[in-house]
Structure 1
Amino acid sequence: MSLSMNSVFARRLYLCWLLNNEQKPNVPKLMEITGWPRRTLQDVLKALPGMGVGLEFVQQGVRNNDGYYQLSSWGPLDPHWIERHSEQLLAAIEHG
């Protein structure tokens, strides 16, 4: 099955999948996994609540940025669809 998708939207869906499947995902860890620049990750994280996705930062440690992100709600997104299409989402991102 071929998946035609805007790479910006695919990036958002893929990041949701990572946030749900990685252990304590923070920006440095997500940068390592995705290869995306810090600014790109921060922009995508900022965009998720605008899509209706519940996103929380769990503070851990004394510094403001010590902690990790977690989804509190998928909003209108279907996590099962995203799981089934994660490889195709990656392909859309790479070719976008």
Structure 2
Amino acid sequence: MELNPVFARRLYLALLVHNIERPNVPKLVELTGWPRRTIQDVLKALPGIGIELMFIQDGRRHNDGYYRLSDWGPYDPEWVCSREDEIASTLHH
């Protein structure tokens, strides 16, 4: 199965938010090596493919906190998780 790289990037970021503890933008930048703006753009694009996120405020500043995936929408999370390597390899081509 050949995934569109833009779609793969969105699924991959959703997987990271789902799988890591307290994912925030700096942590996602560190894990992916992507620019901060790319992370922010992909996070904003997730609702467009049906994946819903919540931002959990955890600090005094308005942007202190982390994301939590609240709804996978039309995607089966087990199916997506089982294809994590395939999704990641699409991004490295």
- For structure 1, the 5+ residue unaligned runs are none
1:54 aligns with 2:60: no
When normalised by structure 1's length, the TM-score is: 0.93
Partner Cα distance (2:92, 2:5) in 1: 8
Q: How does 1:31-70 map to 2 (within 5 A)?
A: 31-70=29-68
Partner Cα distance (1:88, 1:21) in 2: 16
Computed over aligned residues only, the root mean square deviation of the Cα atoms, in angstroms, reads 0.8
Secondary structure of residue in 2 paired with 1:9: helix
Find the counterpart in structure 2 of residue 21 from structure 1.
19
Partner Cα distance (2:80, 2:35) in 1: 23
Q: CA deviation at 1:94?
A: 1.2
Looking at both structures, which has the greater relative contact order when contacts are Cα pairs under 8 Å and sequence separation is at least 6? 1
Alignment-mate amino acid for residue 4 of structure 1: E
Find the counterpart in structure 2 of residue 76 from structure 1.
74
Percent of pairs identical after alignment? 58
Secondary structure of residue in 2 paired with 1:46: helix
When normalised by structure 2's length, the TM-score is: 0.96
Q: CA deviation at 1:52?
A: 1.5
Q: CA deviation at 1:89?
A: 0.5
Partner Cα distance (2:75, 2:69) in 1: 12
How many residue pairs end up in the alignment? Answer: 93
Q: How does 1:4-19 map to 2 (within 5 A)?
A: 4-19=2-17
